[in-house]
Amino acid sequence: MKTFFEPKSIAVIGVSRDIQKPGRVILRNILRNFRGKVYPVNPQVDKIEGLTCYPSILDIPDKVDLAVISIKAELVPETLEQCGKKKITSVVVISGGFKEVGRKDLEDQLREIVKKYGIRMIGPNCLGVFDNYTGVDTSFLPTFRMHPPSKGGISLISQSGAVGSTTVDWAAEQGLGISKMISYGNAADIDESDLIEYLSKDERTEVILVYIEGIDRGRRFMDAAKYAACQKPVIIVKAGSSESGAKAVASHTGSLAGSYQIYSAAFKQSGVLVAQSLEELLDFGKVLNMLHPARGGRVAVITCGGGFGVMATDAVEREGLQMSKLSEETMNTMKAQFPSYVVVHNPVDLIGDTDAERYRVALEAVSKDPDVDVILLILLFQVPRLDPEVVEIVLAAKQSGKPIVGVAAGSEFTKVHVTRLEEGGIPFYPTPERGVKAVRALVQYGNTLTKCPGGLPKYISKLVEK
């Protein structure tokens, strides 16, 4: 499997003279960041993008690690045979026109060929592989439409190519660091379970996000998910949960959406977190990539706007978490240093005339309280006396070891500070509701880990060191 992400050489089969055709876009995308050897294949062309173009894969004089096929469906079997003869072990078939349009026969042919030669295949009918570290990029999306994602620990597996690429683009825009995106399409060979298993062992993946519509091999999925969830967080969006949604799945990927209740039970049992939308998928991915899981569900809220404190409290209860009962000591420490109108019980309300110093005192007191597992920190940068130094204060409070999840809504002035806070390792959300859901994800994953055999996974030690 590793060859899909770290090949030394790639052949692109079906490179057109037309710069808009998928094969050509793929060649260009690969040439942009991939540093290994690249071989375009097209019998009608001699040279393309300054590279020698080969009539067939068999004419390439060197070893080829990865082949990417983007030609008419009818021609794929023969080409795949040639890949086998060339001893290529990893092939991505971009081409559509198989099971999804009723050509199960053609897809079965591919299956037989990969079996015969011991090829591992991603696809057909997919965008294939995007690796942000090695520059492998078989997706045929023009880069001007996408925000180049920064390198990071989030990897995404998507049954749908459009969901995969849109999510990566959107994640990039939010500043999330991406490792890999794999769109696996019809899954004639490699499926979601293979990919989850691979990513669970991949050093450059810290969080696994998954979009699926249906799972064929249930037992295999359970095993892979269970193993993976003990290594790093696995978060899933399962589309097709409604009756009409399940019908829509049938005409989209031809999968059986199945009973959502069975899926939910399976996800719960395997320790996988479920997100209700792509927004939640990224919200949860962000928090779990930035913070270590919570040791329990007791939440302390610190705010400078009482209304935000109330909404956060409602959300804590709605999400099945608890508002921490702050100790007398914690409250007295704050009381001693604050004006009398500051509210020192949970939710702690520093009031709209707060300065950064009140946040320092509150964060220090609350993070020492043994009855607090997570801090939800609401910072309203609109209030008049809250100076930018609050950013340093919050980042220093990270040292206490208690996870801090931030909430701030607003325009440019707010965003400038939120960006600095996120770069320093504190995830932020625009509303108390989304912030509290992220906290719930931290707590749930903390629970998952208590059921795992062996010690804490490697990624957590990394997070604690950060």
String marking each residue 240-259 x if it binds its own copies according to CB under 8 A = xxxxxx-xxx-xxx------
With contact defined as beta carbons under 8 Å apart, do 5 and 136 qualify? yes
Taking the complex as a whole, the smallest distance from the CB of residue 52 to its own copies amounts, in Å, to: 26
User: Which residue's CB is nearer to its own copies, number 49 or number 353?
Assistant: 353
User: Which residue's CB is nearer to its own copies, number 410 or number 424?
Assistant: 410
Site for its own copies contains 175 (CB under 8 A): no
**Interaction residues for its own copies, span 258-297 (CB under 8 A):** 276-279
Site for its own copies contains 352 (CB under 8 A): yes
**Interaction residues for its own copies, span 134-163 (CB under 8 A):** 140-142, 144-147, 158-163
User: Which residue's CB is nearer to its own copies, number 229 or number 378?
Assistant: 378
Site for its own copies contains 300 (CB under 8 A): no
Q: How far is CA 65 from CA 2, 37, 119, 337, in A?
A: 10, 10, 11, 65
Site for its own copies contains 413 (CB under 8 A): yes
- Please choose, from the candidates 68, 71, 30, 63, the residue with its C-alpha nearest in 3D space to the C-alpha of residue 49: 30
**Interaction residues for its own copies, span 176-215 (CB under 8 A):** 211, 213
**Interaction residues for its own copies, span 100-129 (CB under 8 A):** 100-101
User: Which residue's CB is nearer to its own copies, number 96 or number 293?
Assistant: 96
Taking the complex as a whole, the smallest distance from the CB of residue 440 to its own copies amounts, in Å, to: 14
- Please choose, from the candidates 395, 408, 398, the residue with its C-alpha nearest in 3D space to the C-alpha of residue 435: 408
**Interaction residues for its own copies, span 30-69 (CB under 8 A):** none
Counting other chains too, the contacts that 457-463 makes at CB distance below 8 Å and 24 or more residues apart are 457/230, 457/231, 457/232, 458/231, 459/153, 459/206, 459/231, 459/232, 460/292, 460/293, 462/206, 463/290, 463/291, 463/292
Residue 238 to residue 61: CA distance in whole angstroms: 45
Q: Among 56, 414, 424, 456, which residue sits at the site for its own copies (rule: CB under 8 A)?
A: 414
The site that binds its own copies (CB under 8 A) totals a number of residues, namely 84
Q: Sign of the C-alpha dihedral, residues 328, 334, 335, 337?
A: positive
How many Cα neighbours within 13 Å face the side chain of 179?
A: 20
The distance of Cα 108 from the centroid of its chain, to the nearest Å, equals: 31
Taking the complex as a whole, the smallest distance from the CB of residue 23 to its own copies amounts, in Å, to: 12
Residue 126 to residue 81: CA distance in whole angstroms: 20
Residue 132 to residue 123: CA distance in whole angstroms: 20
Taking the complex as a whole, the smallest distance from the CB of residue 141 to its own copies amounts, in Å, to: 5
In this structure, are strands 298-303 and 374-378 parallel, antiparallel, or unpaired? parallel
| Angle, CA 38 vertex, CA 37 and CA 43 arms, to 5° | 140
Site for its own copies contains 431 (CB under 8 A): yes
Taking the complex as a whole, the smallest distance from the CB of residue 241 to its own copies amounts, in Å, to: 5
Q: Among 341, 401, 454, 455, which residue sits at the site for its own copies (rule: CB under 8 A)?
A: 341
User: Which residue's CB is nearer to its own copies, number 3 or number 431?
Assistant: 431
Site for its own copies contains 132 (CB under 8 A): no
Q: Among 10, 11, 13, 25, which residue sits at the site for its own copies (rule: CB under 8 A)?
A: 25
With contacts defined by CB under 8 A, name the span among 68-76, 197-205, 220-228, 235-243 that binds its own copies: 235-243
Site for its own copies contains 434 (CB under 8 A): yes
Site for its own copies contains 388 (CB under 8 A): no
Site for its own copies contains 349 (CB under 8 A): yes
Site for its own copies contains 410 (CB under 8 A): yes
Taking the complex as a whole, the smallest distance from the CB of residue 463 to its own copies amounts, in Å, to: 27
Q: Among 1, 343, 356, 456, which residue sits at the site for its own copies (rule: CB under 8 A)?
A: 343
Site for its own copies contains 383 (CB under 8 A): yes
Amino acid found at 261:
Q
Site for its own copies contains 223 (CB under 8 A): no
With contacts defined by CB under 8 A, name the span among 41-49, 223-231, 344-352, 454-462 that binds its own copies: 344-352
Q: Could you count the other beta carbons within 10 Å of the beta carbon of residue 105?
A: 9
